[in-house]
Homo-oligomer: A and B are copies of this chain.
């Protein structure tokens, strides 16, 4: 067993520098690497490019990095729910590249799997396809999209073991598995770090080979963005 365990978030983020490109898992505030984000704020690295489906909210998630003006460029599919984001974007302080959600997931997956590029129908005929190669396959048009390159991927899982194997819970899985192994160094933070042998080898969502460092996150707020309930009958 190749041991990927590091003791804390500081060790996990060793080598992180300004001007780097990061991938961050999560959908909205669900399944985001809360501890890595806090540490990125503390480290004060800036001028970074972040690939993440969303940009958090004003005072949580990636919104914290926006607040501290650490982000040069965001690559996301949906960036509503964040006033500071809108302000920085409209003022030109922040560069934004919007990518269809399925394309974003697959550009990470392609990097993980060693595919340089792929053809997807998403965005054909829209401004997303401008300047990109398009091609007809069996009478339908597709856009050529390239794999992402990143220095670090920060993902959050529910459980993990010392070998770097990861297990997710519910929809907190989302982009996290797609980003593992898609960057030079993948850092996984987990709510529960167990010994090897405790996870069922049949039910590992991400094999440890895709993860370079794993640590137990000190605390998780797991903020709910849109609490929606129904009345008890």
Contact = CB atoms under 8 A, between A and B. Distances in A.
Interface string A117-143: 111110000000000000001101010
A115 interface: yes
A118 B121 contact: no
A119 B120 contact: no
B121 A114 contact: yes
Contact of A119 (B116, B142, B202, B203): B116
Chain A interface: which size bin? 10 to 19
Contact of A203 (B137, B140, B203): B203
A198 to B, nearest CB: 15
How many copies of the chain does the oligomer comprise?
A: 2
Interface string A42-56: 000000000000000
B115 A168 contact: no
A116 B169 CA distance: 32
Given A169-B202, A170-B202, A140 B120 contact: no
A137 B117 contact: yes
Interface in A70-124: 114-121
Interface string A128-171: 00000000011010100010000000000000000000011110
Nearest to A121: B114
Nearest to A173: B202
Interface of A: 114-121, 137-138, 140, 142, 146, 167-170, 202-203
